[in-house]
Chains A and B, each alone.
Chain A
Amino acid sequence: GQQVMQIPQYQHVQEGEDFTTYCNSSTTLSNIQWYKQRPGGHPVFLIQLVKSGEVKKQKRLTFQFGEAKKNSSLHITATQTTDVGTYFCAGNPSFLDSNYQLIWGAGTKLIIKP
């Protein structure tokens, strides 16, 4: 079946260091969404990417959608303690007519070293 692989599973960084998580889909996606889940919280929508090669920025967060629309990345510059949480990507396979089911990555947990 369709899969979205997300790596790494965990990333430990010192505060101020950068963080990157990557998603790779086994199929072409019509769009990809990114969510953040704080510890003990629920997923919160961050952004949606639709166009091939699209790059979007939200302050220290940079989101990219690959040219082939099969991969995506989230990069955080100079992490802060407020960035702690798990980041999920969720893709919409383009071949599905109804486009109703997002395929979720397993998430990357960002941990700030004390």
Chain B
Amino acid sequence: NAGVMQNPRHLVRRRGQEARLRCSPMKGHSHVYWYRQLPEEGLKFMVYLQKENIIDESGMPKERFSAEFPKEGPSILRIQQVVRGDSAAYFCASSPIAAQETQYFGPGTRLLVL
């Protein structure tokens, strides 16, 4: 039973480019959460999605950031026109039901903006 998969594991972008991060939840999990972690800091909630629905995007910047979890395929976190401040580790987590349940984290995508 594969765990949460994220790719790429490392991503380098120049300022102004787009970053696209992918997350495949554990089999049977229909709830996906995205977090951002700056170096030496804690986890910051960004967005919570179920299949085809954004449930809570209160932690996600209104501009340049978007997320989706289509009926088929992985969840995507998209950052347009990246800036240096977007450099961080982005973690995806999944759970089978809701946040009452354990969240299983993927290995993360380390984004570096030059």
Contacts and interface: CB of A to CB of B under 8 A. Distances in A.
B100 interface: yes
Nearest to B92: A42
5 contacts: A42-B91, A45-B103, A88-B42, A100-B56, A109-B40
Given A88-B42, A88-B43, A100-B55, 10 more contacts: A42-B106, A45-B103, A92-B99, A99-B98, A99-B99, A101-B48, A101-B99, A102-B99, A104-B45, A105-B42
Main secondary structure of the interface of A (DSSP, over half): strand
Contacts of B45: 101-102, 104
Contacts of A100: 31, 48, 55-56, 98-99
A45 B102 CA distance: 7
B107 A42 contact: yes
B12 to A, nearest CB: 17
Contact of B43 (A41, A43, A92, A101): A43
A31 B100 contact: yes
Interface residues of A, number: 24
A102 B48 CA distance: 11
6 closest Cβ contacts across the A-B interface?
A106-B42, A42-B105, A100-B99, A45-B102, A107-B42, A43-B105
Contact of B103 (A98, A102, A109): A102
Contacts of B63: none
B104 interface: yes
